[in-house]
Each structure stands twice: as C-alpha cells, then as structure tokens.
A and B are shown apart, each in its own frame.
Chain A
C-alpha cells in the first residue's frame, strides 16, 4: 500500500516587489508560548492609553509583515524592507505631509526596527499608527507611544 504524502505548510511565501524581486520572509507556525500572553499584557498596562487590538500574540507575522505583506508573513530583515521601499516606488514625505494611508518606519542606526500604517492624526497632529509589536499584538498608537525609538522616524507614500 502506498504512503500518504502530506505537503507541510510553507515557511516562506512567494512575496515579490513590484519589480519582481523576491522578499525574504518567514512564517513561524508554532503555537503561542508560555509567557507570550503575559508579556503582551505587560505592554497593555505600560501603554494603557493606546488601543490594543484583541489579536495575537502571533509569530506568523510581525510589524513589517503587517505593513508590507497584509499580515501574511514575517519580514525580519531590514534590507528587505528597504528593497520594498525602493522597488515599490515609495516616496519619502515630510512629517507635515503625513496623512492616513501613509507608512511609517522607525529606524535605529539604519536598521528598520519597526514599521506601521498611519491611520490618522490626533488633535495635536501627532500621527496615529497601526502596527504590530514583534510577536505580541497589534496596537493603534500615537507615533511615540510604543517600545521603539523615535529619533529617526521616516514617512513614505506610494503615489503611482
């Protein structure tokens, strides 16, 4: 009797930029680990004035996966993020120009440490960002109210 063949779920997706270059990505399908939930709740407490979406924790996607890959996978190489920015023809915009739909990248020493999607601005015109915090959860937060440094935040928009 022949063996039953099972194709395991992929750990990487075919994810290409507009120019057709593959974007390295990874899906960790392991279940939630002990401590993940606790850590997530710690951040809920620490940033209690932000809006914590009832999702996660999840290692299937991270912030860059949310911003650039529709929550389908994890992009953990900053060089890949820069590849997307270039290949997809994002243009840099200023803080004053930022509006809903733009994206924001938090750089640290040139490393794209974090990213998110701008979904509005508050009464003081501070951008409000939807992002995912590592393998924790998604948060709608004011730009600086997150565990990432804000000394070098850049904004991008696709215009064509």
Chain B
C-alpha cells in the first residue's frame, strides 16, 4: 500500500453498516487490519487524510466510514498528539466522531491495544452525557421562510 487511499475499507464499511453504538464501531475498527496498515503512515499523513475526508460531502458508505477509520488509526500511533489535534467541531455527517475521539483518548495506550480493548465500555463515558447539549428536548430551531 503506497497511499492511505488504497487501504481496503471493506471490513470497516461492513462494521459501520451494522454498528448500533459507537463503542461497537471502535472495537471493530481496532480489530481491522486496514487500520493497522494505515497506522504505518505518518501522523501528518493520516491527519491530512482525515481532514480531506470530512471536507467532502459524503455520498457513499465509504465516505461515511473513512473518517472513523482514520481516527482509530491515529490512536495506534506512538504519540497521542495527532489524535488530540483532530478538530471534531461541526461534524454533522460524522456524529460519532467527537465521542469516539474522547473514548480513544481516554483509553489511549502507546504500548498495546489488547488490554485497552476490554476496558472500552468501562472507561468510556456515556455517549448521551457527551452529547447532552444536542440531546435536549427543547423545541428544535424554527425555520422561517420570508418572502
């Protein structure tokens, strides 16, 4: 594999398609060989690929999957700095990204992922806690059409 875009994301897409919770997706991506292939690239390259991936208007399942794959790949680097620097603001199309970033940071281990895997659910904050500001039952914003 000479570029990140050549990574086979078939397995990742399959996982994304049936993911009911973000933790499930993290776990499946952490088991995906493609993520480890991508993690062989530099942090700058992966970060740039992530930025490019969220810049496009997603049209396909792959478009929706890609940013999550790159995020988990960043968590496999020897330093957490690149993962920490991911800007997850305004990610309407990738709603799980901010939560997944936080979980990956809280469970980050530069040495091994094996022990961390089993700790995911225990260490991870509740998804609804992190998205509480979005999850209120306040009236939705009113759309006003003027002449």
A34 and B17 CA atoms in complex are apart in Å by 12
- Kindly provide the distance from the CB of A25 to the nearest chain B CB, expressed in whole angstroms: 8
Tally A residues with Cβ within 8 Å of B: 46
Interface residue A76 (Cβ < 8 Å from any Cβ of B): yes
User: Is A63 in contact with B131, judged by CB distance below 8 angstroms?
Assistant: no
User: Is A113 in contact with B20, judged by CB distance below 8 angstroms?
Assistant: yes
User: Is A35 in contact with B18, judged by CB distance below 8 angstroms?
Assistant: no
- Kindly provide the distance from the CB of A104 to the nearest chain B CB, expressed in whole angstroms: 13
A105 and B19 CA atoms in complex are apart in Å by 14
Interface residue B114 (Cβ < 8 Å from any Cβ of A): no
Q: Which one of B121, B131, B132 contacts A111 once the chains associate, using CB atoms below 8 Å?
A: B121
Q: Which one of A33, A64, A108 contacts B60 once the chains associate, using CB atoms below 8 Å?
A: A33
Interface residue B62 (Cβ < 8 Å from any Cβ of A): yes
**Partner-contacting stretch, out of B36-44, B70-78, B134-142:** B134-142
- Kindly provide the distance from the CB of A33 to the nearest chain B CB, expressed in whole angstroms: 6
Q: Mark A105-121, 1 if CB is under 8 A from B, else 0.
A: 00011111111000000
Interface residue A1 (Cβ < 8 Å from any Cβ of B): yes
A11 and B18 CA atoms in complex are apart in Å by 21
Interface residue B89 (Cβ < 8 Å from any Cβ of A): no
> A34 contacts which chain B residues (CB < 8 A)?
59-61
Measured CB to CB, the nearest residue on chain A to B27 is A108
Interface residue A55 (Cβ < 8 Å from any Cβ of B): no
User: Is B143 in contact with A6, judged by CB distance below 8 angstroms?
Assistant: yes
- Kindly provide the distance from the CB of B33 to the nearest chain A CB, expressed in whole angstroms: 17
Q: Which one of A12, A14, A40, A114 contacts B20 once the chains associate, using CB atoms below 8 Å?
A: A114
> B135 contacts which chain A residues (CB < 8 A)?
12, 24, 26
> B95 contacts which chain A residues (CB < 8 A)?
26
A62 and B127 CA atoms in complex are apart in Å by 16
Measured CB to CB, the nearest residue on chain A to B135 is A24
Within residues 5 to 25 of chain B, which ones have a CB less than 8 A from any CB in chain A? Answer: 13-14, 16-24
Q: Knowing A5-B143, A36-B61, A40-B17 touch, does A76 contact B22 (C-beta < 8 A)?
A: yes
A22 and B127 CA atoms in complex are apart in Å by 14
User: Is A14 in contact with B137, judged by CB distance below 8 angstroms?
Assistant: yes
Interface residue B122 (Cβ < 8 Å from any Cβ of A): yes
Measured CB to CB, the nearest residue on chain A to B26 is A111
- Kindly provide the distance from the CB of B20 to the nearest chain A CB, expressed in whole angstroms: 5
Query: Please, could you name 26 A-B residue pairs with CB atoms under 8 Å apart, sorted by A?
Result: A1-B147, A5-B143, A6-B144, A7-B140, A7-B143, A8-B143, A24-B132, A34-B61, A35-B13, A36-B17, A39-B61, A64-B20, A76-B21, A77-B127, A77-B128, A78-B21, A78-B23, A78-B121, A78-B126, A80-B128, A111-B121, A113-B24, A113-B27, A135-B18, A147-B18, A148-B18
